[in-house]
Copies of this chain bind each other. A is one copy, B any other.
Amino acid sequence: MKAIRLHETGGPEKFVVEDIPKPAAAPGEIVVRVRFAALNHRDVFISQGLYPGIALPRTLGSDGAGEVAALGANVAGPPVGTPVVIDPTIGWGNDPEVWSAGATILGMPRDGTFAQYVAVPAENVHAKPAHLTYEAAAAMPLAGLTAYRATFTRGKLKSGESVLITGIGGGVQTFVLLYAKHMGARIAVTSGSDDKLARARALGADVAVNYATSPNWQKEVRSAFGSVDLAIDSAGGDAFAKALGLVRPGGRVVTYGGTSGDATIRMFPLFWNHLSVYGTSMGSPWDFRAMLALFESAGLQPVVDRVCSMDEVVEAARRMNQANQFGKIVLAID
């Protein structure tokens, strides 16, 4: 079968398309014929060697949608040919509050979705929402799940609240925008790109501020928008500290990343205003099911930046590395 493989680290240039054997379905597993996959920052970080526990060669890829191709022993269904989408969190465990120490993410250490076939635990395979194409379904899993847990399970967003989304454009934050809009939230977004701010406005953001041209962007958000009920951030550093300063008394801040490094925070507003800060990564099996139910009941559509062929993976990963995308970069697995 065709697979996008990584034999050595060194950046997106190191992805190569090659032929490797099809995986077999071990007991308790399902093999999925992947039709579409999607890139995540994680794939780029791994290609750059910026991830713990890298063991190569490996087929990366956490997001995939396709059809059931084979069932392992002790797996009763779904039948071969069923359209499915894959939950990328492997072995979350039994605690809804936190993943187990042994939890991993599809695509490292286990071979992932950048291949015509992928073997995954049967419990990670879910029926594809009928209203989504395979392309759209493949754009959903990792980012949609992370955003679901950040917005609802941890962030506890309620109808009509106000939300600050820092650094709009990456996969997860566009899902947060989608969910927040669905909940009737008032939405403020930030980005370093006017194009992305315009895209976010088109998707329903009420206030959009460029942090590159406005270093004191928090003042613009405050004057245009007031304080917010919930802020969701994955930058850390200064952005996280500013987000903390923008939430109302009793408000919440959710963080799922720290690409800008450590954050220096003032203690007084945190304790005096009874703020809550929630860290989150990926999502539980219950989060994944709830996300699928939300997509189906609300008819939501993931934001897809573009669809590339397997042969275009190096260019696609470079685009993600440069943060030029808005929404998910999808790979057609032909």
Contact = CB atoms under 8 A, between A and B. Distances in A.
Nearest to A271: B279
A78 to B, nearest CB: 30
A270 B279 contact: yes
Interface in A234-281: 234, 236-237, 240, 249-250, 255-258, 261-281
Interface string A220-244: 0000000000000010110010000
A274 B99 contact: yes
10 contacts: A97-B274, A255-B270, A255-B271, A257-B271, A261-B267, A262-B267, A271-B279, A271-B281, A274-B281, A277-B277
B279 A276 contact: yes
Pick the most buried of A101, A236, A269, A277: most chain B CB atoms within 10 A of its CB: A277
B271 A98 contact: no
Interface of A: 95, 97-99, 101, 154, 234, 236-237, 240, 249-250, 255-258, 261-281
Given A265-B263, A271-B280, A279-B273, A101 B257 contact: no
Contact of A280 (B255, B274, B278): B274
A276 B155 CA distance: 11
Contacts of A265: 262-265
A333 B100 CA distance: 56
Nearest to A258: B267
A280 B154 CA distance: 18
Nearest to A269: B279
Nearest to A149: B274
Contacts of A250: 95, 97-98
